[in-house]
Structure 1
Amino acid sequence: MYVRGIRGATTVTRNDRQEILDETLVLLQEIVDRNEFEPEDISSIWITMTPDLDAVFPALAIREMEGWNMVPLMCALEVPVQGSLPLCIRLMLHINTTKTQQEIRHVYLNEAKRLRPDLATS
């Protein structure tokens, strides 16, 4: 058993509470679907957002999912690098798994596909 990191990112079109929550769930569900694990397998999830998003904590969406209320979550502000992708939500899941690094499927949705085009279709 190893602790592996799974990266994911997505974007929203505006600083809107419901859109942030909805897109966070879409991203998380896609990560779960591609990697086939249960909440009990998760050590923790780091969530970051760009400084232009402050309408809601995206962890709220995850916390309200059935079976996910005990998963350790932490929200933080993404480093505000000039010219970086705006309106972006990133997830870093640390999961306990027997999968190799090559078997892990990272997920990049919406405009976040530009961050890692090499991983966006995997």
Structure 2
Amino acid sequence: MRIRAIRGAITLDRDEKEHLHARTTELVEAMMRENSLSTDDLVSVVFTCTPDIVSDFPAAAARAMGFGAVPLMCAQEMAVPGALPLVVRVMMHAYLDRPRDEVAHVYLRDAVKLRRDLAQ
């Protein structure tokens, strides 16, 4: 097994804690499902948010999903003029038994605009 990086992103409709948690859960569950992963397969997960998201940490939603033993980190994306607003991005590192070009990256809602080449 190799360690693979799995990318994902989702957009929010508003910066509100419960909404952030719901959308983060939606994204993480899709990433786990599409790559047939369990938390035991995970090495670490890095979350980033655009600067307009301040209601909570997306890692808090992951902890509530049972990711308490997985190292989690949150950071802020660069404030680039014209960038898509209200975006949560994820880079999940996991032991995965498939070639890099078969990793399922997950982009949901308006985040498909970020990487049409990777969105399913």
TM-score, with length taken from structure 1: 0.95
Aligned to 2:9: 9
Aligned to 2:102: 103
Letter in 1 for 2:23: E
Letter in 1 for 2:76: L
Matches within 5 A, 1:1-122: 1-66=1-66, 68-121=67-120
Q: Quote the Cα distance in structure 2 between the aligned partners of 1:98 and 1:58.
A: 27
Structure 1 unaligned segments of length 5 or more: list them: none
Q: Quote the Cα distance in structure 2 between the aligned partners of 1:53 and 1:14.
A: 8
Corresponding pairs, count: 120
Structure 1 residue 112, shift from structure 2 partner: 0.3
Structure 1 residue 33, shift from structure 2 partner: 0.8
Letter in 2 for 1:104: V
Q: Quote the Cα distance in structure 1 between the aligned partners of 2:119 and 2:97.
A: 23
Deviations 1:31-68 (A, max 9, x none): 011000110111100000000000011101100113x2
Q: Once superposed, which parts of structure 1, at least 4 consecutive aligned residues long, lie more than 2 Å away?
A: none
Matched-pair identity in % = 41
Structure 2 unaligned segments of length 5 or more: list them: none
Q: Quote the Cα distance in structure 2 between the aligned partners of 1:76 and 1:110.
A: 21
